[in-house]
Amino acid sequence: MNILIVDDHPFIIEAYKNAIKAYNAKGIYEFVITQAKDCKTGYEAIMEQGIGSYGVAFFDLSMPVYEEKGIFSGEDLAHLVKNEMPECKIILLTMHTELLKINQIIKNINPNGLVIKNDLTFDELLLAFDKILKDENYYSQTVVQIVSQMPFDNLEIDAFDKQILFHLSKGTKTKDIPQYVPLSLNAIEKRKQSLKEILEIADGTDIDLIRESKNKGLI
């Protein structure tokens, strides 16, 4: 089985590899591990020809972006894998514990595994890997607690919204965002207002929007 690990923290990659090695201590499985350190190398590992499909892919959500290809996070890489390799099982790792962000991940990606970094232990990784290989889903304890509180069934924050927030956070003026996002200026303004209403800052400024988006883990 081909396994992909994408994380910008080398010690996390080693933790994954050690857990996989321990899981396969008896040599029952044949695992081939590919690792990448950011959105760019992750994209290249997914799109590279001749390596076959991955059976399992691990992604950190927050990593250096690959703006040229519109890949801004591990979430975008997960979308890419789902399109290119529908049978691949996806495990996401994140520091975010905000209800809105967790809801967005589950709604948009529906990963086979979702682990909060503060929950991460060697045993946690072993358990997650075991369950996922057995075609079960695995959410770490904090995720389970968050999911039980979720009231955000009707929220829709898509890839265009995330790109708009990303460019605003980098200081791009709204009037210039159509250069980077394939939407009209009017559509971008409407999306900004919708985001402000979702974040309960309907009369807020762009600075307020970016602050609350960061607080909620959207960027």
DSSP character string of 75-129: HHHHHHHHHH-TT-EEEEEES---HHHHHHHHHHT--SEEEEGGG--HHHHHHHH
Torsion over CA: 125, 111, 166, 154 (sign)? negative
Which H or E element spans position 21? helix 10-23
pLDDT of residue 103 exceeding 90: no
pLDDT of residue 150 exceeding 90: no
Q: What pLDDT is recorded for position 14?
A: 92
Contact 177, 161 (CB under 8 A): no
Query: Quick one: tokens of 153?
Result: 């069934």
C-alpha radius of gyration, the chain, whole number = 18
Contact 77, 88 (CB under 8 A): no
Among 88, 216, 201, residue whose Cα is nearest residue 162: 216
- Cβ-Cβ contacts under 8 Å for 101 (sequence gap 6 or more): 94, 216, 217, 218
Q: What pLDDT is recorded for position 181?
A: 81
Q: What pLDDT is recorded for position 198?
A: 83
Task: Tell me the average pLDDT across 40-60.
Answer: 87
Q: What is the DSSP letter of 24?
A: T
The band of 145, judged by pLDDT with boundaries at 50, 70 and 90, is confident
Task: Tell me the average pLDDT across 68-78.
Answer: 93
Map tokens 């970094």 to a residue: 117
Q: Which residue would you say has higher pLDDT here, 157 or 205?
A: 205
40 by DSSP, 3-state: which? helix
pLDDT of residue 152 exceeding 50: no
The band of 159, judged by pLDDT with boundaries at 50, 70 and 90, is confident
